[in-house]
Amino acid sequence: MSTESTTLVQVSAGFAAAVETAGASTVLVNARRRIPASGVVWSADGTIVTAHHVIERDEVEVVLADGSKHQATVAGRDPGSDIAVLKIGPAGLTPALRAPAGSAKVGNLVLAVGRPSLEGPMASLGVVGAIGGPWRTFRGGEVEGYIRTDTTFFPGFSGGPLVDAEGRVVGINSARLGRGAGLTVPVAAVERIAADLLAGGQVRRAYLGISSQVARLPVALAALAGGRETGLLIISVEPDSPADAAGVLIGDILIELGGQPVDDTDSLQAQLGPSHIGQATPASVLRGGERKDLTVTIGERS
């Protein structure tokens, strides 16, 4: 067997192992008239994460990887991010392995995994094509971040995981978030949303009212940002939003919020927790080659 063939066999076996790992914590969620959806065992105490839009009735049944069936209660749901949290009775479940926040990179190979039937897990292979956020969906929801891939979301894949080559969850898939294409909510955002839903049944979502993308800073601007290499380029500002009221402009590069560095969407979201709502917060941007300090009162998305 040639070296090329051996390598291909090893790669293939690695992907199969990743699906097996993820499949052990991927469940079937039966809560609608049509084909069932998927979900992920989030913790061993019976917490299941799935997609909000697949919960269409009060009676929810969850089927685990071992085939056992369990009635579930809805602990909370967040239409804005299309995330819902369910609870089932059994403890000692096998929770999903979670990838570190921000570990998914453009160009990575990933697998969309689902369990829409009793026949076992299904999977599709693809590449991460884009990572971004925060983003306001065409349905009016607020998504803290997103991962776009060319994986195929087969019917029933919503609520299932997007996993890396080691079978670790990098996000939760939704066929509803993107116009004409599915998106994935990154694992760091899902962790925050799930914690809020378990604590209070809903998500209080702080916001600035901007859309942004990561921008690499030239050496001169990096010096103004404390030596950091990236910031968030502001590509839109919502009228009458907190950012608009604070004087943030399209083309600004956000480098600090609340005294903490902002170099990607995860670091921004870390400063936009519910406890920050209504707080007058210092922010720093780069504008016209200079550093400008602002004060923004963080709002709450209704």
- Nearest residue to 242 via CA among 284, 274, 207, 204: 207
Question: Which member of 25, 38, 81, 158 is catalytic?
Answer: 158
259: domain CATH number is: 2.30.42.10
Same structural domain for residues 106 and 39?
yes
Contact indicator for 177, 138 with CB cutoff of 8 Å: no
Same structural domain for residues 36 and 86?
yes
- Nearest residue to 114 via CA among 66, 162, 67: 162
Question: What tokens does 29 get?
Answer: 């969620």
Same structural domain for residues 33 and 50?
yes
Angle value at C-alpha 18, between 14 and 24, nearest 5 degrees: 145
Per-residue pLDDT at 246 exceeds 70: yes
Same structural domain for residues 82 and 158?
yes
82 is catalytic: yes
Prediction pTM value: 0.72
Same structural domain for residues 47 and 144?
yes
Same structural domain for residues 194 and 212?
no
Q: In the listed set 142, 164, 198, which residue is the last one of a domain according to the structure?
A: 198
- Nearest residue to 250 via CA among 230, 236, 239, 265: 236
Per-residue pLDDT at 212 exceeds 90: yes
Question: Which member of 53, 174, 252, 284 is catalytic?
Answer: 53
Question: What tokens does 97 get?
Answer: 């392995």
Same structural domain for residues 235 and 105?
no
Domain hosting residue 215, numbered range: 206-300
Same structural domain for residues 107 and 217?
no
Return the C-alpha torsion angle 258, 259, 264, 265, nearest 10.
Answer: -10
pLDDT, position 301: 77
Same structural domain for residues 64 and 134?
yes
DSSP string, 25-80: TEEEEE-SSSS-EEEEEEETTTEEEEEGGG--SS-EEEE-TTS-EEEEEEEEEETT
pLDDT tens per residue across span 258-300: 999 998 887 887 788 777 899 999 999 999 999 999 999 999 8
pLDDT tens per residue across span 60-83: 999 999 999 999 999 999 888 899
Question: Which member of 25, 38, 82, 196 is catalytic?
Answer: 82
Same structural domain for residues 230 and 169?
no
Q: In the listed set 149, 165, 198, which residue is the last one of a domain according to the structure?
A: 198
Give Cα separations from 266 to 99, 142, 186 (angstroms).
14, 15, 10
Give Cα separations from 257 to 92, 208, 210, 260, 269 (angstroms).
40, 11, 13, 5, 10
53 is catalytic: yes
127: domain CATH number is: 2.40.10.120
Same structural domain for residues 267 and 122?
no
pLDDT tens per residue across span 100-152: 988 999 999 999 999 999 998 999 999 999 998 777 665 556 677 899 999 99
Same structural domain for residues 66 and 190?
yes
158 is catalytic: yes
Q: How many domains does the chain have?
A: 2
Phi-psi region of 120 (alpha: psi -120 to 50; beta: other; left: phi over 0): left
Q: In the listed set 164, 198, 232, which residue is the last one of a domain according to the structure?
A: 198
Per-residue pLDDT at 211 exceeds 80: yes
